[in-house]
Amino acid sequence: MQINKIMVVGAGQMGAGIAQVCATAGLEVLLHDVSEASLQKGITGIEKRLQRAMEKGKLTGEARQAAINRLTPSSTLKDVKTCDLVIEAAVENMEIKTKIFRDLDEQAPEHALLATNTSSLPITEIAAATSRPEKVIGMHFMNPVPVMKLVEVIRGLQTSEETYQAVKQLAVQLEKTPVEVNDYPGFAANRILMPMINEAVYAVYEGVSSPEDIDTVMKLGMNHPMGPLQLADFIGLDTCLYIMEVLHEGLGDSKYRPCPLLRKYVKAGWLGKKSGRGFYSYQE
């Protein structure tokens, strides 16, 4: 299947990043958001990142302008009628995602594939909200999308081989490395990453060591570019907690129980970098 035109639903950090790499790779892109302010912010962010890439010599002026020309803002899902693929990157909430997929299923052409950038929610359940479950798939990009090379390509129970191959080929076209993953809670990346972060939080909770020293152990001892607690702050502690709850509920194993300290920080509004305080302070 040839994919020429894509709609990205959600103009936040992930959606804008996905739209950017698709437009840079030569695809026509509609960036959709229900919020006009979010849409404008997303477009502006893409233009700034492309400008920086050009200034660093990673992109020519012609390539930058061509990518911008391929990008069109969209305020209505009806625009999906001309698209071959949709990549949904809305908020991580099953009720919201299933509503989006029901609407997309009604509006998108029969041949169109529907992908979700969810980091933890079951693809099979999202697909069940549509009349084309064989054309629904997970396409989990890593943050920041323009920099990170990995894409988890996640098969739902009914995802067809044709759908999987088309999305895998697209990931390669975007200069990403696709890995095949089946539909289990947390997929592969978060199934491994989040318990490590949670265990680091337990180490702080139990007084094993300080956040700084735990991160130093992982950076210098295990050659991680960033410690797990700093990484948790960058991801968002509320997001980490949410994914741990998905793992705990979905797998029913006590080893995925979120650390009480993680819950306490989230209840306090200490969500990490985005709130100015997590395991570290980000106040100016």
Are 127 and 133 in contact, with CB atoms under 8 Å apart?
yes
Q: What angle do CA 34, 116, 249 make, to 5 degrees?
A: 110
Backbone angles phi, psi at 266, to 5 degrees: -65, -40
* Closest C-alpha to 82, from 39, 29, 40: 29
Question: b or e along 265-275 (b: 16 or more beta carbons within 10 Å of the residue's beta carbon)?
Answer: bbeeebbbbbb
Active site positions, annotated? 119, 140, 152, 190
3-state secondary structure of 184: coil
Are 176 and 149 in contact, with CB atoms under 8 Å apart?
yes
- Using CA atoms, how far apart are residues 205 and 214, in angstroms rounded to an integer? 12
Q: Give strand pairing partners of 88.
A: 9, 116
